[in-house]
Amino acid sequence: MRNTDNRKDWKLLKTTPGPDLTLFQVRFDWLENPRNGHTVKATVVEAPDWVNVVALTPEGELVLVRQYRFGRGEITLEIPAGIVEPGENSRDAAARELMEETGFSTEDWKYLGWVAPNPAYLNNRCHHWLARDVEKVAPPALDEGENLEVLVLSLDQIKEEVKSGLFRHSLAISALSRVFDLRDLFQ
């Protein structure tokens, strides 16, 4: 059953701002639960939209990045990704992030749709893009807080990384699953 009324019968009673963080703005919403009439205080993290890029070389290999992630306190393997800047569309953000993080570029782009990263408290979207026939055209231009290693791996290597648990970034796996069949990994 498709729900086209996103808020259903939840009534917004009040909204107040919360902390303004580096990448996020927090707000508190008070809503009336339509089931029982109780007031619920919800924490909403307002975040800019994000992009993920599944970047394929002419040989069918994938361009990946290995980088330290502060939240997990570990180095992760992922696809090129980043924030959609204010006023920027997701396609331009995908091309910018691919170039900045890896030095790869292409003119062959296909939109793969978007997912809600965590609709329990995040209000943003993560847009998935397929970049075909990418080629290395420049060195990466990393932000001050980034330290990336660029890797080019075959699909079989990626599948092994996912299966072994070394590649566990859920949004990146979501993007990959829109291009490749990953169902056979755990059978």
Residues 113, 148: Cα–Cα separation, whole Å: 26
Residue 143 has pLDDT above 90, yes or no: no
The structure tokens 């396609």 sit at 91
Distance, in Å, from the CA atom of 58 to the CA atom of 53, rounded to the nearest integer, reads 15
pLDDT for res 187: 60
Contact 150, 101 (CB under 8 A): yes
Q: Check whether 4 has a pLDDT greater than 80.
A: no
pLDDT over 70, % of the chain: 95
Bridge-based pairing state of the strands 50-56 and 62-69: antiparallel
Q: Which carries the bigger pLDDT value, residue 168 or residue 184?
A: 168
Residue 3 has pLDDT above 80, yes or no: no
Q: How far apart are CA 42 and CA 58, in angstroms?
A: 47
Band (pLDDT 50/70/90 cuts) for residue 176 is very high
DSSP class of 172:
H
Mean per-residue pLDDT, 129-135: 98
Range 50-186 classified under CATH 3.90.79.10: yes
| Interval 125-132 mean pLDDT | 98
- Cα(5)–Cα(2) distance, rounded to whole angstroms? 9
Residue 142 banded pLDDT, cuts 50, 70, 90: confident
Nearest to 132 by CA among 56, 63, 53: 56
pTM of the model as a whole: 0.90
pLDDT at residue 123 tops 90: yes
Q: CA-to-CA distance for 169 and 122, rounded, in angstroms?
A: 17
For the segment 23-43, the average pLDDT, to the nearest whole number, is 94
Instruction: State what percent of residues in the chain have pLDDT above 90.
Output: 77
Instruction: Name the residue type at position 167.
Output: F
pLDDT at 144 over 70: yes
